[in-house]
Amino acid sequence: MVDQDDTIDRYEFALLYFLRNGFVTHDDIETLRKIHKAGGNMNAGDYDKRTPTHLAASEGKLAVVRFLVEEAGADHSPMDRWGGSPLDDAIRHSHHEVSAFLTSKGAKPRSHSEQRSTSSGPNCRLKPASSQARIITGVDDWP
C-alpha cells in the first residue's frame, strides 16, 4: 500500500516532468487538473525555480496561466533563480493578454533597476571580451 506522502511526492515529480518536457505549452489543462486534484504542487519549480506558471506565461498560454492561478491556486508571481516572474516573461515575449491577466491578479513587473546583471540566464548583459577578462596564455598565468 502507498501512503499519502508517497503519492504526493510522485505527483510532484510528475508535475516537474510535465514542466520540463513542455507539456504546459501544449495547453494540456486536463493533465494539469488531474495532477492538481491528486495533490500535486502547482508551485513546484525546476532546478532554475521556474514553475508551470513561468513556462506558460513565457509561451503566451493564457488558458494554462488562468487555470494555474484561478483554479489550481498557483502563485501568480513566483520568482525564478534570476529574480524573474511569470509577468516578466510575458512582457519580455510580448504576450499582452497574459500580461494583462497577471496584472489583474496583482502581479507587478520588476522595474529596470531591479533586474540583475548576471553572466547567465535571461537577464545576461555581458561586457565586451576585452573588459570581461584577460586572456590566459599558459598554465603559469592561472591565479
pLDDT tens digit sequence for 47-101: 899 998 999 999 999 999 999 999 999 999 999 999 999 999 999 999 999 999 9
Is 118 strand, coil or helix?
A: strand
Average pLDDT over residues 15-37: 74
Determine the Cα–Cα distance for residues 71 and 53; give it in Å rounded to an integer. Answer: 13
Q: Which three cell numbers stand for residue 115?
A: 533586474
Residue 105, all three cell numbers? 491578479
Q: Give the three cell numbers for residue 10.
A: 510522485
0.75 exceeded by pTM: no
Tell me, what's the pLDDT at 33? 87
Confidence category of residue 23, pLDDT binned at 50, 70, 90 = low
Q: What is the pLDDT of residue 20?
A: 54
Mean pLDDT of 24-46: 82
